[in-house]
Amino acid sequence: MIPVTKPFLPKVQEYESYVSSIWERQWLTNNGPLVNELELKLKNYLGLSHLLYVSSGTMALQLAINALELMGEVITTPFSFVATSSSLVWEGCKPVYVDIDVETFNIDPRKIEAAITPQTSAILATHVYGNPCDIDAIQEIADRYDLKVIYDAAHCFGTKYKNKSVFEYGDISTVSFHATKLFHTIEGGAVFTRSPELLKKMASMRNFGYHGPEEFSELGINGKNCEFHAAMGLCNLKQVDEILDKRRLLSFYYWRALATLKASYPKLNTDLDYNYAYFPVLFDDEQLMLKCMKALENEKIYCRRYFYPSLSALPFLNPAHMPVCESVSRRMLCLPLYHTLTSSDLDLITRVILRVQQYENSNDFIPSMFAIETDRKLNAAF
């Protein structure tokens, strides 16, 4: 079986050494020494002054929304994971969708201004698949209308924009360290800000609003993370450059092998150092995508329609027509991409896809690997 992703796992002995130290200290959570060590090493690796390690990427979004005291309407993207929108609703804000750019799949800044009303308090944009939004255009609009900016940078570990970590931008940026991400702590996330005051506020908020042993400075929540998750992060951080390099090589292999596929890929920001977080394929036609997904599943190769359906169709919100997003979400498929994926795996995946395209005019034919392997051997023989 080839799943769409697998978590990177360090050598078990290395993780066990951290676990042994936790056992010795008997300090399991509440801002323990491994959490502090991870925060420091992440700041050094990313070149940032401020960050807080929290329990999840969703918690990071909720802390950001609360810390900025957002109310009313927040302009956001319909092409993201559900947590981007549900966090706003959970915190009493109203998501206002703006359609996406047809090439980058990020929120289209040319459409933001028309959505601004007197009730608008912020822009919450997602750097989709680790590819930064048009940060400069979004910030210019935010400055003109006195709006806050949060970036859902869940996919962005290792991504740089203009030679700086993409987490450096916006009033607050958030990231997920979930096990499916290229850098993970099993469960976890982080918030980033350039503001010491905002950092101090969120540090209190993630620990129930504690300001001291007997004092609460503000409304808070349990957003802390534990020593066991921090231990996984410390192990994985040592390997992250290798992980990034491997994903880049796998992505280039895909691009070359699928050069004739009737599909396109995200247009990457020109000021970008990319992290190759995913391998999204936008098929020209939804039916071709569905046939490819079915043929891959027949060979126990599992992809993901990421993101589908458009968030503008969420049942707990008023429906909004987002034609670009709706079209993209129907045709998008993320192919398997993870550290232990081999060139043989990619060869198999891409041959299945290209074989389907070859027979796309046949409604019934779904090629088996026997046919594909026979075809490969015949081609090799001649």
Element (H, E) at 347: helix 343-358
Please tell us whether the domain made up of 240-381 is placed in CATH 1.10.3720.10: no
Which 8-state DSSP code applies to residue 284? S
pLDDT over 60 at 368, yes or no: no
- 107 pairs with which residues across the strands? 100
pLDDT confidence of residue 215: 84
By CB atoms closer than 10 A (0-12, 13-18, 19+), residue 200 is middle
pLDDT in tens, 274-332: 999 999 999 999 999 999 999 999 999 999 999 999 999 999 998 899 999 999 999 99
For the chain, residues classed under CATH 3.40.640.10 are 12-237
pLDDT confidence of residue 269: 86
- What is the C-alpha separation between 96 and 81, in angstroms, rounded? 15
**HSE toward the beta carbon, residue 309, CA cutoff 13 A:** 10
Q: How confident is the model at residue 217 (pLDDT cuts 50, 70, 90)?
A: confident
Q: How many helices (H) and strands (E) does the chain have?
A: 12, 15
DSSP 208-230: TTEEETTEE-S---B----HHHH
Residue % of the chain over a pLDDT of 70: 94
pLDDT confidence of residue 382: 31
Could you tell me the strand order of the sheet in which 164-165 lies? Answer: 164-165, 160-161, 272-273
pLDDT in tens, 44-76: 999 999 999 999 999 999 999 999 999 999 999
Contact in structure between 152 and 197 (CB atoms under 8 Å)? no
Q: Return the CATH number of 12-237, one of 3.40.630.150, 3.40.1280.10, 3.40.640.10, 3.90.1150.10.
A: 3.40.640.10
- What is the C-alpha separation between 39 and 53, in angstroms, rounded? 6
pLDDT over 80 at 364, yes or no: no
- Other Cβ atoms less than 10 A from the Cβ of 13: the count is 7
Is the bond leading into 309 cis (omega within 30 degrees of zero)?
Answer: yes
**HSE toward the beta carbon, residue 244, CA cutoff 13 A:** 17
For residue 178, the Cα-to-chain-centroid distance in whole angstroms is 10
3-state DSSP assignment of residue 69: coil
pTM here?
0.93
- What is the C-alpha separation between 223 and 225, in angstroms, rounded? 7
For the chain, residues classed under CATH 3.90.1150.10 are 240-381
For 35-64, b where at least 16 C-beta lie within 10 A, e where not — what string?
Answer: bebbbeebbeebebebbbbbbbbbbbbbbb
pLDDT in tens, 180-207: 999 999 999 999 999 999 999 999 999 9
